[in-house]
Chain A
């Protein structure tokens, strides 16, 4: 496995004594989409800020593409694009100028064609000569993404990319992230939206209280912890579960109007067809069926609560 970012024993204690990170070790693979998942204040932004040079770590080391972020900060930073969580933009600069500025800041020669392509990809081309202050919040976020892409980074950090973003921008952003990944860009995003991690990421790292709780392939995580449940809405309430249904370990809910069946969705035999056949044999009529899959959210909540000191 080839890692593009290697984080070793990173700790951060802020001046006030708050320990934001408590010894984080993490390897990011080249070309993957990695989601850093955690509640507010878990340490996601602090970790990203340390990698990008915005915050000094208290202890530990990080290398980016083999370059130590302190000793060889030029090489390390040159490969990184950062889109912070907050909307930090100039007010009076024009869209095209601010993107060109970012490119120059990272030491690249001007490239009008590239800037045009980035602006078109982000549907900012019509606004290229507008002052940033004239733009809406969503447009400003697009500008920040354009700035981060202006120096053709090999690694892109998106800190809460879709927080407070409309549906259209969210969809565009996901499309863009996938397109970038296809060109070999490694993407690290932080989020507290589980769906985002589930939908986008190859791997998920869960961070809570400054500790990395787990790192796992998204699909493996879902497989490992993912259960599914079937709810059968009955036509007539049952007083008790008939003994003939004991094999399925059902729950009788909602005053006997609902049967709940939890099963492993990856098992070869889910037991659903036989359950439905048995219900018919017993003359139990039902009006509706409902299945639900446990989301990363359920997994996350159970992980975080498991770790909470008793």
Chain B
């Protein structure tokens, strides 16, 4: 095979290796999103939803579905991708990746591709689970899926960076727990930011997650707190920032090579 231009088999090997890892924990991997989604519906849907029937003309139960999917998508993407690259660093098997005829782009494609695949599957499982509780209408199904994949890839790249930056397993958790989850909860996953009083509404607009969730919500309902174009631009900007960081990591060998 000609590997002069692109080592497709190498990418496929990493992708399959990672998917195989997910398969070993398939049942817990799928049970967790199903159970947490159900819990959210029991708590938010029943307890709060009975007092808050509609947001912007959308049934509250349906309104939180895109936010729930995004919350899991962020966490799954970061966790899968960061663990995927951190593990070989931890066990030392990274020697094989570094000595293989693979470019940085190909290595990232294999890891991020697999992590994004799993994160997307989990998000879709959440969508299916949510359908058991509420009627979810998706106005732009194709765009919904495309946006899901775009955000998954972006956060997997982010997770890949964390997996290289982290010096130990506990550091893998810091960014998701201390930054991403709070920003998601404060970023309108479960409410419309229009419900917030000033100055909180304006402050919230500095939260990048607001744009991600609202862009995704737009694909469901055709309306959102911020214009979909701005959401897309914000997502693309984050994607680009991650790509630049990864390019720098491989160029300098940061935490990969001595």
A-side residues, CB < 8 A to B, are 14-15, 49, 52-56, 73-75, 77-78, 80, 82, 84, 86, 88-93, 97, 101-102, 104-109, 147
Contact B100 A106 (CB under 8 A): yes
Q: Mark B246-258, 1 if CB is under 8 A from A, else 0.
A: 0000000100011
B102-142: CB near A (< 8 Å → 1, else 0) gives: 11000000000000000000000000000000000000000
Spot the interface stretch: B7-15, B45-53, B217-225: B7-15
Selected A-B contacts with CB under 8 Å, 8 pairs: A52-B99, A54-B258, A56-B257, A90-B91, A90-B93, A105-B10, A106-B7, A107-B10
* Contacts A88-B96, A106-B3 known; 6 new A-B pairs at CB < 8 A: A88-B92, A88-B93, A93-B17, A105-B13, A107-B7, A147-B96
A105 touches B100 (CB 8 A): yes
Give me the 9 closest cross-chain CB pairs, A-B, nearest first.
Answer: A104-B13, A88-B92, A107-B3, A74-B101, A77-B101, A52-B99, A107-B7, A78-B101, A105-B100
Bound together, the chains give a CA A86 to CA B92 distance in angstroms of 8
Say which residue of B3, B14, B94, B258 sits within 8 Å of A78 (CB atoms). Answer: B3
Q: Is B177 engaged at the interface, CB distance under 8 Å to the other chain?
A: no
User: Is there an interface contact between B13 and A53, defined as CB atoms closer than 8 Å?
Assistant: no
Question: Which residues of chain A have C-beta atoms less than 8 A from B13's C-beta?
Answer: 101, 104-105
Closest B residue to A49 using CB positions: B258
B12 proximity list for chain A (CB < 8 A): 104
- Inter-chain contact count A-B, CB under 8 Å? 88
Q: CA A80 – CA B96 in complex, angstroms?
A: 11
CA distance A108 to B1 in the complex (A): 7
CB pair B95 A75 closer than 8 Å: no
**Contact present for A105 and B4 (CB under 8 Å):** no
Q: Which residues of B contact A92 (CB under 8 A)?
A: 21, 24
Instruction: List, in ascending order, chain B residues with CB within 8 A of A107's CB.
Output: 1, 3, 7-10, 101
Distance of A104 Cα from B103 Cα, bound (Å)? 14
Complex Cα distance A49/B98, Å? Answer: 10
| Contact between chains at A74 and B3 (CB < 8 Å) | yes
B contacts with A: majority SS: helix
Residue of A52, A80, A107, A109 with most partner-chain B CB within 10 A: A107
Closest Cβ of chain A: how far from B111's Cβ, in Å?
Answer: 12
Q: Does B97 contact A (CB under 8 A)?
A: yes
Residues of B within 8 A of A78 (CB): 3, 101
| Distance in angstroms between the alpha carbons of A78 and B9 in the assembled complex | 13
Q: Number of residues in B with C-beta < 8 Å to the partner?
A: 31
Of B9, B20, B97, B257, which is within 8 A of A55 by CB? B257
CA distance in complex: A67, B238 (Å):
37
Q: When the two chains form their complex, are residues B92 and A73 in contact, meaning their CB atoms are under 8 A apart?
A: no
Q: Is the CB of B92 within 8 A of A75?
A: no
Contacting residues, chain B, for A90 (C-beta < 8 A): 91, 93
Picked from A91, A97, A101, A109, the residue with its CB within 8 Å of the CB of B1 is: A109
Say whether A104 contacts B9, CB under 8 Å: yes
Asked if A56 and B10 sit within 8 Å, CB to CB, the answer is: no
Q: A104-B13, A108-B1 are in contact. Are A54 and B7 (CB under 8 A)?
A: no
Would you give the shortest CB distance from A69 to chain B, in whole angstroms?
Answer: 11
Known A-B contacts A55-B257, A105-B13, A107-B101; A82 and B1 likewise in contact (beta carbons under 8 Å): no
- Given known pairs A92-B24, A107-B9, the reply for A77 and B91 (CB within 8 Å) is no
Are B7 and A74 closer than 8 Å at their CB atoms?
A: yes
CA distance A82 to B3 in the complex (A): 19
Closest Cβ neighbor of B253 among chain A residues: A56
CA–CA, A215 to B228, complex, Å?
68
With a CB–CB cut-off of 8 A, which chain B residues contact A88? 91-96
How distant is the Cα of A53 from the Cα of B100 in the complex, in angstroms? 8
Minimum CB–CB distance for B70 against chain A, Å: 31
| CB of B195, distance to nearest CB on chain A (Å) | 47
B22 CB to nearest chain A CB (Å): 12
Bound together, the chains give a CA A102 to CA B88 distance in angstroms of: 14
Q: Which residues of chain A are near B1, meaning CB under 8 Å?
A: 107-109
A93 to B94, CA, bound (A): 15
A190 CB to nearest chain B CB (Å): 15
What's the Cα separation between A80 and B248 when bound, in Å?
Answer: 26
Give the complex CA separation of A84 and B13 in angstroms. 21
The answer to whether A105 and B14 touch (CB under 8 A), given A54-B257, A74-B7, is yes
- In the complex, the answer to whether A54 meets B93 with C-beta atoms within 8 Å is no
CB distance B9 to A109 under 8 Å? yes
A74 to B21: give the CA distance in the assembly, Å.
27
Complex CA distance for A73 and B14, rounded to whole angstroms? 19
The answer to whether B95 and A84 have CB atoms under 8 Å apart is yes
How far apart are the CA atoms of A174 and B9 in the complex, in Å? 32
- A104 and B11 CA atoms in complex are apart in Å by 8
Which A residues are in CB contact (< 8 Å) with B96?
82, 88, 102, 105, 147
CB-based contact A53/B92 at 8 Å? no
Q: Which of A52, A82, A91, A104 contacts B91 (CB 8 A)?
A: A91
Report A-chain residues with C-beta under 8 Å of the C-beta of B17: 93, 101
